Amino acid sequence: MVKPERPANEARRLDALRRARILDTAPEDGFDDLIRIAAAICRMPIALVSLVDEDRQWFKARRGIDFEQTARDDSFCAHSLLQPEQLMIVPDARLDPRFRDNPFVTGELRVRFYAGAPLLDPDGLPLGSFCVMDREPRALDEEQKLALVALSRQASRLIELRRVSGELELQLREREWYEEQLQQYQLALEQENASLVELTRTDPLTGLPNRRAFAEELQAVADTGAAYSVAICDIDHFKQVNDEHGHSEGDRVLVAVADALREHHAARGRVARVGGEEFVVLFPGQRADAAMRECETLRQAVADLSIGLPVTLSFGVAEGRPGEMVEDVLARADVALYAAKRGGRNRVEAG
């Protein structure tokens, strides 16, 4: 095991950490929410807001571990202080000479994967790391990396807001300045939160709403009691595209199909990507026969795409019945989709 070196700006860094007045404070919902989002987006069992003091790392927020601090020399996050301008990723700690003998690797915790984004003060001094860990070797895709950095930036803003709020409490006589500063930081937090909400509701590849956003929209439409229909569509033989042309070409096909669906239908309803090569289309106020006609238009629009590869869609359509659970409507649409595939693909079936 290689013990982490001390950064050249260690004295200034520790001074900034002390001025933040965050060490050994009680848990806070804001930080806990951020690590909950990080664990979900990165699909990791462990997520931490880790602050590195002179001889320890202390966790302002923790998920997946019971203890609240460790020795600095055993800390993964202490290594990330040495390169605060970048995301630190350890794909397999057993293969990294810095960590293969680390007690968190060899011991009960069995850490294998680590990714940490720096927690920076406004002067760029690293206070610690916003990190996720797994007990299996892993990798993050580009969208997960961007999300981790965004969440780290949000956690840094929360730390700075705490510091500013503490200092402003000592200057209550200058109330006007106090309110202005607090409002600016609150606005920054709201903007970051809006970005995080959008991140959790949007498919990063196509820009369409994701499964979570579609489920909320579908339930809202069903709750009105008005007629509606749902279609589930699937790109035919998509695995063959990936196998023969590679995943980058598969991604290009997914984006082209998403754009076609959005262009032809978004103004009249809702389109979302719910996973892999599967999309869903919501038809508020429409019965199954009208929805099927629109699906025929969408099917033809995709079949006519000029992207250098033949691309077709199969559709399964179901109309919501009064009092029926939305999950049951989707299940009927899914059955119809598989009937379309069994019937030769590139077709629309009702369920």
Q: What is the pLDDT of residues 175-191, one digit of tens each?
A: 666 677 677 777 766 66
**247-265 and 288-303 helices, crossing angle to 10°:** 130
CB 73 within 8 A of CB 3: yes
What does the pLDDT look like over 249-298, one tens digit per residue?
Answer: 999 999 999 999 988 865 444 899 988 899 999 999 999 999 999 999 99
Judge whether residue 138 has pLDDT over 60.
yes
pLDDT averaged over every residue in the chain: 90
Name the nearest CA neighbour of 201 among 253, 144, 273.
273
| Residue that wins the pLDDT comparison between 193 and 244 | 244
136 among known catalytic residues: no
How many whole angstroms from its chain centre is CA 208? 14
Q: CA–CA separation, 87 vs 132, rounded Å?
A: 11
Which residue, chain included where needed, has tokens 């489920």? 215
Q: Thinking of the domain 10-197, which architecture would CATH place it in?
A: 2-Layer Sandwich (3.30)
Domain ranges of the chain: 10-197, 211-350
Q: Provide CB contacts within 8 A for 144, sequence distance 6+.
A: 41, 42
Residue type for 331, please? A
pLDDT value of residue 260 = 92
Residue type for 26, please? A
| pLDDT band of 166, cuts 50, 70, 90 | confident
pLDDT value of residue 211 = 86
Judge whether residue 198 has pLDDT over 70.
no
| pLDDT band of 165, cuts 50, 70, 90 | confident
Residue type for 173, please? R
Q: Provide CB contacts within 8 A for 99, sequence distance 6+.
A: 1, 2, 76, 90, 93, 105, 111, 114
Q: CA–CA separation, 225 vs 229, rounded Å?
A: 12
Q: CA–CA separation, 231 vs 348, rounded Å?
A: 9
Length of the chain as a residue count? 351
pLDDT value of residue 267 = 45
Single pTM value for the model: 0.54
What does the pLDDT look like over 201-215, one tens digit per residue?
Answer: 788 888 898 988 899
What does the pLDDT look like over 26-61, one tens digit per residue?
Answer: 999 999 999 999 999 999 999 999 999 999 999 999
Topology classification of domain 211-350: Alpha-Beta Plaits (3.30.70)
Residue of 277, 294, 319, 349 with catalytic role: 277
